[in-house]
A = this chain, B = another copy of it.
Amino acid sequence: MRDHGGNIDAAIARHGGADWIDLSTGINRRPYPVPALPASVWHGLPTRQAQNALVAAAAQAWGADPRLAGLALGGAQAAIQLVPHALPTAGRHARVLSPSYNEHAACLRAAGWNVSDSASPENMTGADLAVVVNPNNPDGRYWQPEDLLALAGKVGFLVVDESFADVMPQLSLLSCGGGVPNLLILRSFGKFYGLAGLRLGFAFGSGQMIAKLAEMAGPWPVSGGAITVGCHALRDVPWAHAMRAQLSADAIRADNLARKAGWRCLGGTDLFRLYHTANATEARDQLAKHRIWSRIFPYSAHWLRLGLPGPETEWDRLERALTSA
């Protein structure tokens, strides 16, 4: 089991207590209100028509170039699992942005790829496969679409993981990445919509690549509930607009609180913040005393990543935790 956020059972096992606030991920804690689901969404196999409607709703919500084919999967993670097996086996050297979401490099290595870390896309020229997370997790670094399109011309294949792009839509390659045969764009549904337990994500790319992924994922990769909720939420444009504004304000609010604890913001997105602390382990334990779970990293003694609280009671507790040291 690799190191991940969202392992709230580990927090409970380590520190005890219940009613934890899990800020160890970038999953929005102001979730989309799940509509009442008729029992029938669970009964039959999801139809092809329903799956196509879901992909169409995602393409519409994110302004995808109509030349891009799309596929719904059980989370962006499901796409990350398939990518290493979907690409031609000749030429197996991958360059992966680092530090970043650790599953990309790990899944490639598990499938037999030779993987090198790259500090930025500029160092990826000539790779058989390049993987960029944009905006990046955990540091929030980001690259402009034109620069990534240029990178696609200099590598064998380019995967851009846009799991956090809902809060920076101007960065997305979905609107301009059509017609680029060696590009795959991954999107998460659960993070911005706060519904990670639904297991829904998407891949967009050439018809050929999407057909290959679909063959590997099988005929029914997402649940009937994910289709129904996903369609509903992705078509709710006003909610998404309002949520972007809310999260933008929340990010500033979190930074202001963190400053009181002496933490310096190193970056992040409007779904999570990365702070420089004097001692990351101590900072995490300080929050844990208040049953707030955060994320630290094996490669840094100072970094602490913090998701954003939702309800006011959570903000109150975070403020107490940050000012009681």
Interface band, chain A: 35 or more
- In the assembled complex, the CB of A15 is this many whole angstroms from the nearest CB of chain B, namely 15
CB pair A223–B220 under 8 Å, yes or no, is no
In Å, the complex CA distance between A48 and B25 comes to 15
CB < 8 Å neighbour of A77 from B31, B42, B44, B218: B218
* Chain B residues whose C-beta falls within 8 Å of the C-beta of A43 in the assembled complex: 27, 29, 31, 194-197
- In the assembled complex, the CB of A166 is this many whole angstroms from the nearest CB of chain B, namely 16
* Chain B residues whose C-beta falls within 8 Å of the C-beta of A226 in the assembled complex: 223
A22 at the binding interface (Cβ < 8 Å): yes
CB < 8 Å neighbour of A197 from B44, B74, B78, B218: B44
* Chain B residues whose C-beta falls within 8 Å of the C-beta of A313 in the assembled complex: none
* Chain B residues whose C-beta falls within 8 Å of the C-beta of A229 in the assembled complex: 42
CB < 8 Å neighbour of A45 from B46, B81, B197, B218: B197
In Å, the complex CA distance between A10 and B41 comes to 18
Report which residue of A40, A42, A221 has the largest number of chain B beta carbons within 10 angstroms of its beta carbon.
A42
- In the assembled complex, the CB of A318 is this many whole angstroms from the nearest CB of chain B, namely 17
A1 at the binding interface (Cβ < 8 Å): yes
* Chain B residues whose C-beta falls within 8 Å of the C-beta of A25 in the assembled complex: 44-45
A80 at the binding interface (Cβ < 8 Å): yes
CB pair B4–A46 under 8 Å, yes or no, is no
* Chain B residues whose C-beta falls within 8 Å of the C-beta of A208 in the assembled complex: none
14 contacts between A and B (CB under 8 A): A1-B48, A4-B45, A6-B45, A8-B47, A34-B39, A42-B195, A42-B198, A43-B195, A43-B196, A74-B74, A74-B222, A75-B220, A110-B215, A197-B225
The 10 nearest A-B residue pairs measured at CB: A197-B224, A6-B45, A9-B49, A9-B47, A42-B197, A199-B223, A81-B218, A42-B195, A45-B196, A77-B218
Residues of A within 8 A of B (CB): 1-2, 4, 6-10, 22, 25, 27, 29, 31, 33-34, 39-50, 74-75, 77-78, 80-81, 85, 103, 107, 110, 190, 194-199, 215-226, 229
